[in-house]
Amino acid sequence: MADRDSCRLLGVVTDRDICIALVANGLDSRTTTIEKLFTESPVTVREGENLDKAERAMQEHQIRRIPVVDADGRCIGIVAQADLALKDKPEKVSKTVAEISKTEAGRPSIAA
């Protein structure tokens, strides 16, 4: 989701957002607006930062995708967990997947 005037990233909608916000709350997908589902102020990395920083942010915030923004906050790409699998050593990817997938008190898992 981007601001129409500045093209700045405002939020992100994931399959998890849809499952938890839409399905679990019994909202109607035909009438629910995207603004009610997206995560505002998503975790991002800036263009030019290294893959390690993106991976650490994904682990820390338990997210599978992280938007890449330019200096003006415009989304110019997304790094996904699958991208890491193509670039990193298997043991490093395994650690990231484990960190992202941890369940915490107060954070429901998709399977719950």
Q: What is 44-103's CATH superfamily?
A: CBS-domain (3.10.580.10)
The boundaries of every CATH 3.10.580.10 domain in the chain are 44-103
pLDDT at 20: 81
Pairing of strands 65-69, 45-46: parallel
What is the pTM (predicted TM-score) of this model? 0.71
CA neighbours closer than 13 Å in the CB half-sphere of residue 89: 4
Note the pLDDT tens digit of each residue in 71-99. 998 999 999 888 887 776 777 777 777 88
Decide: helix, strand or coil at residue 96: helix
Short-list 35, 2, 36, CA closest to 21: 36
Q: Mean pLDDT, consecutive 10-residue segments, the chain of 112 residues?
A: 71 84 84 85 92 90 92 91 78 76 55 38
